[in-house]
Chain A
Amino acid sequence: MKISLDTVVKTFDTFRAVHGVSLEIESGELVALLGPSGSGKTTILRMVAGLEYADSGKIYFGAEDATDIPVRDRGVGFVFQHYALFPHMTVAENIAFGMKVSKVKRGKQEIAARVADLLRLVKLDGLGERFPSQISGGQRQRVALARALAVDPKVLLLDEPFGALDANVRRDLRRWLREIHDELGITTLFVTHDQEEALDLADRVVILKDGKIVQQGTPEEVCREPNSPFVMSFLGDTNRLPATVANGEARIGDATLPAPGVADGRAEVFLRPGDLDWAVEGSGVAAKILRVIDHPGGRRLLVAPKDGGALELDVAPEIRARAGDEGYVAVRRGRVFAA
Chain B
Amino acid sequence: MKRRVLPGLHLTLGLTLLYVSIIVVLPLGALVYKAASLGFVDYWRIVSSGRSVASYRVTVLCALGATAFNLIFGVALAWVLVRYRFPGRRFVDALVDLPFALPTAVAGIALTALFAPNGWFGAYLAGIGVQVAYTPLGIMVAMAFTSLPFIVRTVQPVLEDLDPALEEAAQSLGGSDSIIFRKVVLPLLTPALLAGVSLAFARSLGEFGAIIFIAGNQPFQTEITALLTFIRLEEYDYQAAAAVASVLLITAFVMLAVTNLLQARALRYTQRA
Contacts and interface: CB of A to CB of B under 8 A. Distances in A.
Q: Are A and B in contact, CB atoms below 8 Å, in the complex?
A: yes
Interface of A: 50-53, 70-71
Contacts of B2: 53
Contacts of A71: 5
Contacts of B3: 53
Nearest to A68: B3
Interface string B1-40: 0110100000000000000000000000000000000000
Nearest to A51: B5
Nearest to B5: A51
A70 B2 CA distance: 13
Contacts of B5: 50-53, 70-71
A261 to B, nearest CB: 44
Given A50-B5, A52-B5, A53-B2, 5 more contacts: A51-B5, A53-B3, A53-B5, A70-B5, A71-B5
A53 B3 CA distance: 7
B240 to A, nearest CB: 49
A52 B2 CA distance: 11
Contacts of A51: 5
Chain A residues touching B, majority SS: loop
Contacts of A52: 5
Nearest to B4: A53
A205 to B, nearest CB: 28
Contacts, number: 8
Nearest to B3: A53
A33 B152 CA distance: 51
Contacts of A50: 5
A323 B268 CA distance: 49
Contacts of A70: 5
A263 B3 CA distance: 49
8 contacts: A50-B5, A51-B5, A52-B5, A53-B2, A53-B3, A53-B5, A70-B5, A71-B5
A71 B6 CA distance: 9
B112 to A, nearest CB: 48
Nearest to A46: B5
Interface string B77-112: 000000000000000000000000000000000000
Chain B CB count within 10 A is highest, among A50, A52, A70, A71, for: A70
A53 B2 CA distance: 9
A266 B78 CA distance: 68
A133 B5 CA distance: 28
Interface string B183-225: 0000000000000000000000000000000000000000000
Nearest to A55: B2
A35 to B, nearest CB: 23
A255 to B, nearest CB: 52
B9 to A, nearest CB: 13
B136 to A, nearest CB: 53
A47 to B, nearest CB: 10
3 pairs of A and B residues whose beta carbons are closest in the complex: A53-B3, A51-B5, A71-B5
A281 to B, nearest CB: 57
A50 B6 CA distance: 10
A71 B7 CA distance: 11
Nearest to B2: A53
B6 to A, nearest CB: 9
A50 B7 CA distance: 13
A154 B2 CA distance: 26
A10 B3 CA distance: 13
A214 to B, nearest CB: 28
A71 B3 CA distance: 12
Nearest to A70: B5
A41 B64 CA distance: 56
A52 B5 CA distance: 6
A70 B5 CA distance: 7
A157 to B, nearest CB: 14
A16 to B, nearest CB: 16
A126 B128 CA distance: 76
A298 to B, nearest CB: 42
A51 B5 CA distance: 6
A74 to B, nearest CB: 11
A231 B5 CA distance: 33
A50 B3 CA distance: 11
Nearest to A72: B7
A139 B162 CA distance: 35
A53 B4 CA distance: 8
A177 B141 CA distance: 68
B170 to A, nearest CB: 37
B130 to A, nearest CB: 57
Nearest to A50: B5
B10 to A, nearest CB: 15
B78 to A, nearest CB: 32
B5 to A, nearest CB: 5
